[in-house]
Amino acid sequence: MSLSLSSAPFTRSDSQVQGIMAAVVLALVPATVFGVVIFGWPAFFLWTVTVLSALVFEAACLTLAGKPVKAVLLDGSALLSGWLVAMTLPPWAPWWIGVVGAGIAIVVGKQVFGGLGQNPFNPAMLARVALLVAFPLEMTTWALPSLPFSSSAPGLSDGLAITFAGASAVDGMTGPTLIGNWKTELSQGRGLSESLVSGHYNVVASLLGWKAGSLGETSSLLVALGGLWLLKKKIIGWHIPVSLLATVAVLASVFALIDGERYAGPVFHLTSGAVMLAAFFIATDYVTSPSSPAGQLIFGAGCGLFIFVIRTWGAYPEGAGFSVLLMNALTPVIDHYVRPRVYGRDLKGRPLDLPGGRR
Amino acid sequence: MYILFAIISLTGMGLVLGFLLGAAARYLKVEENPLIDEIEAMMPGSQCGQCGYPGCRPAAEALVAGEAPVTLCPPGGRALAEQLASKLAVDLDLSEVEDQVPMVARVDESTCIGCARCYKVCPTDALVGAPKQIHAVIADACTACGKCVDVCPTECLRLHPVKVTLRNWRWPSPDMVPAKAA
Amino acid sequence: MAALSFFPFGVAGRIRGGVHPEPRKESTADRPIETAFPLPERLYLSLQQHAGQPAEPVVRVGDKVLKGQLLAAGQGTISAPVHAPTSGVVTDILEYPAAHPSALPTPTLLLEPDGEDRWIETRGSADPFGLPPEEISARVGAAGVVGMGGAAFPSAVKLNLGRKTRIQTLLINGGECEPYLTCDDRLMRERAADVVDGILIMLHGLECDQAIVGIEDNKPEAFAAMSAAAAPHGGRVQVRQVPSLYPMGWDKQLIRYFTGKEVPAGGRSADIGVLMHNVATAYAVQQAVRHGRPLVSRIVTVSGLAVSAPRNVEAPIGTLLADLLAFCGHRPEDTASYVMGGPMMGDFLPHPRVPLVKGACGILALSRREVAASDAKACIRCARCVSACPAGLLPLEMVARIRAGQLESAIGYGLKDCISCGSCSYVCPSEIPLVHYFKYASGELVAREQMKHRTEQTKRLAEERQARFERQKREQAALAAQRKAQAQRKTEEAA
């Protein structure tokens, strides 16, 4: 009996693609559950529709491409992409927003490039930005949080109507996001102290997530906890989250010190919008971020810089999606120029000098 | 008035430039595609004819004209095919080259009559010997072109596959190894 | 450049990359070395057991030889001789499958033992430190000692190299970071005094004052035994613990860990005044110089779930691995892979009917449970391979290039700096056989280089031939013209 040729190593770690995807999904669960609880049935329906359509789109693409459907679906990447898209949507958005979003993420964002590992841009962010540009009204109608089963919370039938029948939300149940409010007020010449008070800004509520916002983004605390757990499990590295958050915090502090009325402080920036989700779940996407530690630091810092710039001076209130996409485009360049130093070579790849200056 | 100026000046410019172009085409004419020379320089130059063309230059011409595949040259092997593919910017289909086992000519000493025909035709002087003496092949110089096999009157010259030993064994690509029955 | 040298490139104690594979050493670590391995019926002595030129037989078929007698002499500068592992008769010189992934036949001496195991008269040295230093490497070379850690590089060549450049530190590798393997661990526990003696002999041969023995901190018994054995020799032999991490036993990693210096790419460790040998090599050196015994046997770990009595065996070189495995209760039907060496860097063997060679530190018969092999999936660019790589390469980029057929551009990402340690393949969640791709690409590049060289040579030969033909034609033409002129002159004269 002769065995067919194989190469060392003959032992492997037990880490598998499926396990990695499962861990990321698990880390998203708390924030998602929180979003569903405070935004009610419509959020649940939208989440379900988005995730299911992501799986259907993936299966359809795989069938068209003649690839094994079951094996690839089971790797969990489509589930994760769909889930992330759902988390960035306004919770009471109509069902077709979820379907279109999942379609953009899976088909345009991933499969046209050849599937898992080949896409240059983060599929979820691509979907979010495309939806925002194409359907600005639906993508900026934000539901206000309400306690489950309270009078302001939509019931099952209301929920079905909101998600599937396009029932317009009752007045008083929608409102601007904090960050959008700040932007609008600023454009009307009102300073921060005024607008934040009128927007009922509360650090604790903002951190916990009791505010208008995307389905899974409002609770910065739960998103960050999920991210920290991933860090602890070594699913993601610290380089991107730390450099991204630090860049946002430093820039916000500097500008807030210069003009506290014009520029929001670091706490406001870190606890609002998609910055936490971007730092731990979006920018850390393996496929679209650089592979060397130094490159990851640059990438994270770039994301942070763009987030701050777009939020502060751009036309859109939130810049996480655009920032990540911009840095995704730079990833190949970063990967090309920022590489680890090879043993026995200097940073430019030349052999180290021998003692005595010989080469 | 302005229109007239415009028409006259543009026509004039057109005429002058056209004349210049015509002159350039006539006096600066490239006799032959310089690519052919470059390709020919890459070929082994043994004029063995294994590609089906009467020599390396005709083969290079066919390559540049796109009439021959970059895998046409057996002595050049895969390395040459890759070089040609990158030079001519064409996609490389290695499946054809992959199947060819490297060969080498060998003399069967029991039937060699020392007729000396083989070493006269060998393009790389890989055959040594003298008339009326048994000939031998220098394996390192043999390109397995088969010319000697054609002229040998006793069929003592044959092409044999090059023997794989520990020294020339190479790891096959993982894509070539059949999947492990787990 | 000057600014770069200030960079904290080499800080002693710094480790880059690395993985923590399951040690799986417990089944063999606590059993003493088995020295009662019965002599096999036949020994197959490969003439190529070392890096470099194969040895050339100096005996003929039918010769009676004694244990330790020279059978084949080394050829050229990098080579090693082969000696008889026991007394007996040379019955054949044949082509026999080599202990190599291809198991291709290679020239092999067949020795039939007579069962007496009678030593040839040995030339030991009661006081090796009284010998001239250059005599040490000469004796080590004559004894056929090669690197016992797996590389099988002739030790004498390495020692001589050390004599050319001034060696400040002799590093002794007792890391044994590969899973399963415990032969060095057992050797250090049981024969620490001999190992230390071997280290001192090497120090004498190198005219060097300091040796550092690095032992992974998962071998406290070996560390204690070696420390005790080294204690009487002052600071000349220091025994130190290193963290348990694969590949801690990579010579360059250990060099950086202890000295803070890196071996320049394309250079040798001797260039920065460091030389590294394995503990088992130190033992072989001691046997060769003090007792005059050539390298005819070695301690090898026989392990894996497909053997029921795994242990370390001291076996004669040339024993068929199948015999060794059978001795340890091998179940062929459960075996999914045969490995020579450790599971991270060892060599695949298609079957165990190949002989034991000097560099084989382990023989593993791995069961299906241990080699969970499944098909490679798409790369998700998780960069775990980047953080695991001890050499600072980008394995994922290299594989992407190789898969696309761009072997040359893989070099730009470090293909030539790859040490095939297997850390990247080990951590890859998509189970891509990265190291296999790198081995393939390296071999293919070498083959292409040779092919290119050959094409150039062919061209030169063809041109020379062409030039010769033209010269002959010219000469013939000149001759013909001469004749014609002569003939004309004659007719003119006649007229």
B30: distance to nearest CA of chain C, Å?
27
- Closest of C147, C155, C157, C51 to residue C100, by C-alpha: C51
Write the CB contacts of B142 (distance below 8 Å, at least 6 apart in sequence).
B104, B105, B124, B126
B97: distance to nearest CA of chain A, Å?
22
Q: Which residues of B touch C (CB under 8 A)?
A: 43-47, 75-80, 82, 92, 94, 123-126, 140-141, 143, 164-166, 168-175, 177, 179-180, 182
Query: Per the domain annotation, does A50 fall within a domain?
Result: yes
Write the CB contacts of A338 (distance below 8 Å, at least 6 apart in sequence).
A290, A292, A294, A295, A298
Residue B177 at interface with chain A, using a CB cutoff of 8 Å = yes
Q: Per the CB < 8 Å rule, is B180 touching A7?
A: no
Query: Per the domain annotation, does A352 fall within a domain?
Result: no
C59: distance to nearest CA of chain A, Å?
33
Q: Per the CB < 8 Å rule, is C264 touching A10?
A: no
- Closest of C150, C151, C155, C134 to residue C78, by C-alpha: C155
In this structure, are residues A46 and A98 in contact, taking their beta carbons and an 8 Å threshold? yes
Query: Per the domain annotation, does A112 fall within a domain?
Result: yes
C334: distance to nearest CA of chain B, Å?
12
Q: Is the pLDDT of residue B179 over 50?
A: no
> What CA–CA distance (Å, rounded) separates B123 from B118?
10
Q: Among B50, B81, B98, which residue terminates a domain? A: B98
Minimum Cα–Cα distance from C456: chain B residue: B44
B109: distance to nearest CA of chain C, Å?
23
Residue range B58-111, pLDDT digits in tens: 888 888 888 888 888 877 777 788 788 888 888 776 666 555 677 888 888 888
Q: Crossing angle of helices C434-494/C395-403, nearest 10°? A: 50
Query: Per the domain annotation, does B44 fall within a domain?
Result: yes
Compare CB distances from C104 to B92, B125, B165 and report the shortest one's residue: B165
- CB atoms near residue C232 (< 10 Å): 10
* Cα dihedral A337→A341→A346→A352 (10° resolution): -150
What is the structure's pLDDT at C363? Answer: 95
State the count of interchain CB pairs (< 8 A) between A and B: 10
B173: distance to nearest CA of chain A, Å?
10
Minimum Cα–Cα distance from A346: chain C residue: C4
Residue C123 at interface with chain B, using a CB cutoff of 8 Å = no
Query: Per the domain annotation, does B167 fall within a domain?
Result: no
All chains having 3 or more CB pairs closer than 8 angstroms to chain B: A, C
Question: Known binder of ligand: residue B156?
Answer: no
Minimum Cα–Cα distance from B46: chain C residue: C462
Query: Per the domain annotation, does B13 fall within a domain?
Result: no
Compare CB distances from A7 to B171, B178, B181 and report the shortest one's residue: B171
ipTM of this predicted complex? Answer: 0.87
Q: Per the CB < 8 Å rule, is A237 touching C387?
A: yes
Q: Are residues B93 and B117 in the same domain?
A: no
Query: Per the domain annotation, does A228 fall within a domain?
Result: yes
Question: Known binder of ligand: residue C379?
Answer: yes
All chains having 3 or more CB pairs closer than 8 angstroms to chain C: A, B
Q: Given CA atoms A246, A247, A249, A255 in this order, what sign does their dihedral have? A: positive
Q: Per the CB < 8 Å rule, is A6 touching B178?
A: no
> What CA–CA distance (Å, rounded) separates B124 from B143?
8
Domain that residue A299 falls in: 17-336
Q: Per the CB < 8 Å rule, is B180 touching A4?
A: yes
Domain that residue B62 falls in: 34-98
Compare CB distances from B124 to C98, C447, C458 and report the shortest one's residue: C458
> What CA–CA distance (Å, rounded) separates A152 from A164?
19
Tell me which residues of chain A have a pLDDT lower than 70: 1-2, 167-175, 189-201, 355-359
> What CA–CA distance (Å, rounded) separates C392 from A339?
8
Q: End-to-end alpha-carbon separation of chain A, Å?
A: 50
B169: distance to nearest CA of chain A, Å?
13
Question: Known binder of ligand: residue C421?
Answer: yes
State the count of interchain CB pairs (< 8 A) between B and C: 91
Residue B172 at interface with chain A, using a CB cutoff of 8 Å = yes
Q: Per the CB < 8 Å rule, is B178 touching A4?
A: yes
Residues within 8 A of B (CB atoms), C 48-77 only: 48
CATH number (domain holding residue B155): 3.30.70.20
Query: Per the domain annotation, does B170 fall within a domain?
Result: no
Residues within 8 A of A (CB atoms), B 112-171 only: 171
Write the CB contacts of C259 (distance below 8 Å, at least 6 apart in sequence).
C10, C12, C169, C272, C274
> What CA–CA distance (Å, rounded) separates A299 from A286?
12
Report the residue of C181, C339, C370, C386 to disrupt the A interface, i.e. the one with the largest count of A CBs within 10 Å: C386
Tell me how far the alpha carbon of residue C47 is from its chain's centroid: 15
Residues within 8 A of B (CB atoms), C 339-398 only: 368, 372-376
Minimum Cα–Cα distance from B79: chain C residue: C448
Query: Per the domain annotation, does B83 fall within a domain?
Result: yes
> What CA–CA distance (Å, rounded) separates A160 from A166?
9
In chain B, how many domains are there?
Answer: 2
Q: Are strands B157-161 and B103-107 parallel, antiparallel or unpaired?
A: antiparallel
C270: distance to nearest CA of chain B, Å?
27
Compare CB distances from C337 to A3, A75, A354 and report the shortest one's residue: A3
Which residue(s) pair with B97 in the sheet?
none
Q: Per the CB < 8 Å rule, is C264 touching A7?
A: no
B147: distance to nearest CA of chain C, Å?
14
What is the structure's pLDDT at B181? Answer: 35
What is the structure's pLDDT at B95? Answer: 63
At residue C349, what is the residue type? L
B132: distance to nearest CA of chain C, Å?
22
Residue C469 at interface with chain B, using a CB cutoff of 8 Å = no
Mind giving me the DSSP string for A288-346? TS-SSHHHHHHHHHHHHHHHHHHHHHSSSS--HHHHHHHHHHHHHHHHHH--PPPTTB-
Task: Please tell me the total number of residues recorded for chain B in this structure.
Answer: 182
Question: Known binder of ligand: residue B152?
Answer: yes
What is the structure's pLDDT at B103? Answer: 81
Q: Per the CB < 8 Å rule, is C444 touching B82?
A: no
Question: Known binder of ligand: residue B48?
Answer: yes
In chain A, how many domains are there?
Answer: 1
C288 CB-contact burial (10 Å; exposed 0-12 / middle 13-18 / buried 19+): buried
What pTM was computed for the model?
Answer: 0.85
Query: Per the domain annotation, does B143 fall within a domain?
Result: yes
Minimum Cα–Cα distance from A5: chain B residue: B177
CATH code of the domain made up of C379-495: 1.10.1060
Compare CB distances from B78 to C373, C448, C463 and report the shortest one's residue: C448
> What CA–CA distance (Å, rounded) separates C198 from A76?
56
- Per-block mean pLDDT, blocks of 10 residues, chain C (495 long): 39 80 91 92 93 91 94 91 95 93 93 93 89 92 91 89 83 92 95 96 92 93 95 91 90 89 87 92 95 95 94 95 94 92 93 94 91 81 93 93 88 90 93 93 89 83 85 91 88 79
Q: Per the CB < 8 Å rule, is C101 touching A293?
A: no
* Chain C residues touching residue B98 (CB < 8 angstroms): none
> What CA–CA distance (Å, rounded) separates C377 from C374?
9
Q: Per the CB < 8 Å rule, is B180 touching A6?
A: yes
In this structure, are residues C370 and C304 in contact, taking their beta carbons and an 8 Å threshold? yes
What is the structure's pLDDT at C3? Answer: 35
Query: Per the domain annotation, does A158 fall within a domain?
Result: yes
Minimum Cα–Cα distance from C412: chain A residue: A349
Identify whether C247 is preceded by a cis peptide bond (ω within 30 of 0). yes
All chains having 3 or more CB pairs closer than 8 angstroms to chain A: B, C
At residue C18, what is the residue type? G
Domain spans, chain C: 23-298, 379-495
Minimum Cα–Cα distance from A234: chain C residue: C384
Query: Per the domain annotation, does A349 fall within a domain?
Result: no
CATH number (domain holding residue B53): 1.10.15.40
Which residue(s) pair with B96 in the sheet?
none
In this structure, are residues A162 and A42 in contact, taking their beta carbons and an 8 Å threshold? yes
Query: Per the domain annotation, does A6 fall within a domain?
Result: no
Question: Known binder of ligand: residue C428?
Answer: yes
pLDDT band of B126, cuts 50, 70, 90: confident
Q: Per the CB < 8 Å rule, is B47 touching C436?
A: no
Residue B125 sits at φ, ψ, to 5 deg, of 55, 40
Architecture of the C23-298 domain:
3-Layer(aba) Sandwich (3.40)
Minimum Cα–Cα distance from A288: chain C residue: C381
Q: Is the pLDDT of residue B30 over 70?
A: no
What is the structure's pLDDT at A264? Answer: 85
Q: Crossing angle of helices B56-64/B77-88, nearest 10°? A: 40
